[in-house]
Amino acid sequence: MGALIVLLTTLFLQTSFGPIAVTYEPTLPAIVVEGLEIGQGDSIDQRISVYFGELNESVLMPELIGDYRKEGHKILFRPKYGFVNGAEYTVVIGSTLGRSGRYKVSVPAARNDPSAYVANIYPSTSALPMNQLKFYIEFSKPMRFGGAAQYIKLYRMPEKVLETEAFLAMSEELWDPEGKRLTVFLDPGRIKRGVQPNLQLGLPLVEGRRYRLVIDKKWTDYKGATLTHDFVKEFTVVAVDRESPVPDDWHVQLPDAGTKEPLQITFNEVMDYGLLHSTIVVVNMENKRVNGTIQLARNEQDWLFTPNRPWGEGKHLIIINAWLEDLAGNNLRRKFDVDLNNPNDTPKTFKELKIPFVPIKQKL
Amino acid sequence: MKRITIVLGVLACTSLSFLSGDALEKEAHEGTFIYGTPNIRSMSKLTFGPDGILFLGDSKGASVYAFDFKDDKKPSSAAPIDIRDIDQKIGALLGRPRKDILIHDLAVNPISQNIYCTVSYGGSNSRERDIFDPNYLNDATLLMKISPQGKISEVSLEGVYYNQLKLSGAFTPSAKWRSGRSKNTATIRYLVYDNGQLYISGLSNEEFSSTFRVAQFPFDQQHSTTGVEFYHGAHGQYETSSPINTFIKYQINGQQHLLAAYSCTPLITIPLVDLRDGGKIRARTVAEIGPGSHPIDIRTYRKKGEEYILIANSKRGLIQMRPADLAAQRKSINYPTSRAGVHYKTLIPGSHIRQMDNLNENYVVLLTKNKREGFDLTSLNVNTL
């Protein structure tokens, strides 16, 4: 008889309260518990506990902190620091009536649509010297750091053979502060003559061959979304360049005073993309730096500087740091690969190159 | 001094006769505290002062905050604390995966043995989760507390008793290192309270950017600033621009000193009397512990009545020095070398330690990297060292 009463009571309780439903409501957003009666004097958080992730019986995890609220017949829970897309939550409902249960709730993963892409790879020319030193990979958005090497593939064409030893292993990735530009070095040990990797493997690129550099779209941006598409750069390899750039062979195109025409330097060869942005400044007669924007043209063989304000009159200076390099790492001061027995290879001593100019005075 | 006088005046009307000297000091700092919600920009370093007062550094806000959480009850026992996967547990509380949880600093309240830590939950853009410079990867925004029983909770900073010390001479956000990171992340690199003084290592925009600032506590809104120069054998030159990572106040040959360590790891000493406002000092380099590593925390402990110095390092584990060996190093190391000076013993090798503090007289507590890409809180019995 006693057992029957218990059974009837249980049935009655279950039918009168109905089943408990626990769902995630994205529009609120909140975890919503329905069908749970909270008696007078019962506090909600004594009846419901929410945990982040799945509960593991062997490890006691603290409860997720948040706010419980009763709205009509529903109980709403909002974590203090918000929900995480793609995460699971476990709701444990305990009861003085012996009804208890565990409910899993999933928050859907955010649609993390790819939007970032490789904007360009520099050098942009498709003919690179055999001793090409580095590439700059420029992205449209900041990227997630770490593991870059797995997304950069160099293939020898047309066989499409993967070159596995071409790049310098990156112990620290060389990102710009914004996380949008990565500098990747071809293994300098293979480029510099006479050192072990060079002797064993030779130069990473071979003259006359064609290569395909592929940036895998699986690379993720700072939000974790992949790239919109692979980026492919094909190039052929030309002769080694073991000469420093020759300033005597450069041309400077002067702007008119009173205009914002660009000042232009045309180099005798293609120069390093990154250094063209950081090694050249223009100062005016008062020895003050002229502010402006740098543009590059003809595959980084032309440097164009447009001042923010019209050119003044009088003597100006272009100051070029001697660290400015060509594609093969030869800077104005010394060659990348120095032959110690060759007196012509002795590094020069100057720190910067100064080119004076006077913006052209317009005739009235 | 003025504020203290006012407080004493109030006390005289009430219960002055019942107050001991300690209590007077306590009432004095309470008089300087205000009730409210501080506007903290980047939580970083923590240290405890008298009566369970917590000092919290805000590098980007160029301020040190003192909090009185009334956390001054002794625990029932001086037991060790061990919490596996502490970052995962903090993450569970905040609703974040462990990879997003960064523990920026950790300090033990010497009275209650509650462990406080500064935490961020937004992760970092890199996969890196090791914090050596407190504001490098992210800014901590939360203060968490771990009780001696292992209960983790968030310490609310809304409606609290606090006081703010503004630091002068901080770098502006536009001053950057070559890496592009703002130098104002290192305005405060380490905090030590001792006997009414708060010592702050970090950077200033002075000629010698490596700086010690010293302030009275209770704060009187002033501090001294002294530039520090030292010879770094591993780099073979005098250096003035790196912040001091960690230090303690320590008596050497009868004179009070700061015993401090920089990254890469020179150990230096500075006599306290030499810290003068606006001055520049050349510290004595007493050891080169070895390059490629960051010193994390320096502490002392006693075993069988003998005192020892402990230095936790990012790549050189936990090392121990004897005060007598330190005292014997009277010459400064001013020649190129990567290992020289005061003899030390490696107690625990490895590159897994990330934080250290004294838990009580028997234990030090360590935050260590584990093999699950997370962090554990573990206690080390000093009597076994």
- What pLDDT sits at residue A197? 86
Residue numbers in chain A where pLDDT is lower than 50: 1-16, 96
- What pLDDT sits at residue B5? 33
Are A304 and A296 in contact, with CB atoms under 8 Å apart?
yes
Count of beta carbons in the 10 Å neighbourhood of residue B352: 18
Residue with more model confidence, A126 or B181: A126
pLDDT band at B18 (very low <50, low <70, confident <90, very high): very low
Are B162 and B69 in contact, with CB atoms under 8 Å apart?
no
Average pLDDT over residues B292-297: 94
| B100 three-state secondary structure | helix
As a whole number of angstroms, the distance between CA B160 and CA B274 comes to 37
Could you give the domains of chain A?
2-106 (2.60.40), 118-238 (2.60.40.1220), 247-357 (2.60.40.1220)
Give this prediction's pTM.
0.70
User: B155 and chain A: CB distance < 8 Å anywhere?
Assistant: no
- Chain B contact set for A177 (CB, 8 A): 176, 179-181
Q: What is the pLDDT of residues B310-347, one digit of tens each?
A: 999 999 999 999 999 999 999 999 998 989 999 999 99
As a whole number of angstroms, the distance between CA B217 and CA B31 comes to 12
User: B220 and chain A: CB distance < 8 Å anywhere?
Assistant: no
Average pLDDT over residues B289-293: 89
Q: What is the pLDDT of residues B30-87, one digit of tens each?
A: 678 999 999 999 998 999 999 999 999 999 999 999 999 999 999 988 899 999 999 9
Task: Find out whether the peptide bond into B110 is cis, omega within 30 degrees of 0.
Answer: no
The domain B33-384 having CATH identifier 2.40.50: the answer here is no
The complex's ipTM works out to: 0.85
As a whole number of angstroms, the distance between CA A157 and CA B73 comes to 74
Say yes or no to pLDDT of B132 above 90: no
CA-CA distances (angstroms) from residue B304 to A336, B307, B326? Answer: 61, 8, 19
Record: contact B93-A64, CB cut-off 8 A: yes
Among B96, B128, B181, beta carbon nearest to A84: B96
Q: What is the pLDDT of residues A2-53, one digit of tens each?
A: 444 444 444 444 444 568 899 999 999 999 999 887 766 677 877 899 999 9
Give the DSSP H or E segment for B47.
strand B43-48
Residue with more model confidence, A12 or B251: B251
* Residue tagged 């919600």 (tokens): B37
Distance from CA of B56 to the nearest CA of A (A): 22
- What pLDDT sits at residue A195? 85
User: B180 and chain A: CB distance < 8 Å anywhere?
Assistant: yes
- What pLDDT sits at residue A302? 96
- What pLDDT sits at residue A9? 40
Distance from CA of B348 to the nearest CA of A (A): 26
Nearest to B246 by CA among B264, B260, B232, B266: B260
- What pLDDT sits at residue A263? 96
CA-CA distances (angstroms) from residue B280 to B200, B262, B336? Answer: 15, 17, 23
State chain B's mean pLDDT as an integer. Answer: 90
Instruction: Determine the residue of chain A that is closest to B93 in CA distance.
Output: A64
Taking the alpha carbons at both ends of chain B, their separation in whole angstroms is 44
For chain A positions 86-125, those within 8 Å of chain B (CB to CB) are 87
- What pLDDT sits at residue A13? 42
For chain A positions 163-192, those within 8 Å of chain B (CB to CB) are 176-179
User: B96 and chain A: CB distance < 8 Å anywhere?
Assistant: yes
pLDDT band at B148 (very low <50, low <70, confident <90, very high): very high
Are B245 and B263 in contact, with CB atoms under 8 Å apart?
yes
- What pLDDT sits at residue B14? 39
Q: What is the pLDDT of residues A111-132, one digit of tens each?
A: 778 899 999 999 999 999 999 9
pLDDT band at B243 (very low <50, low <70, confident <90, very high): very high
Tokens of B305: 């009545």
pLDDT band at B137 (very low <50, low <70, confident <90, very high): confident
Give the DSSP H or E segment for B355.
strand B353-358
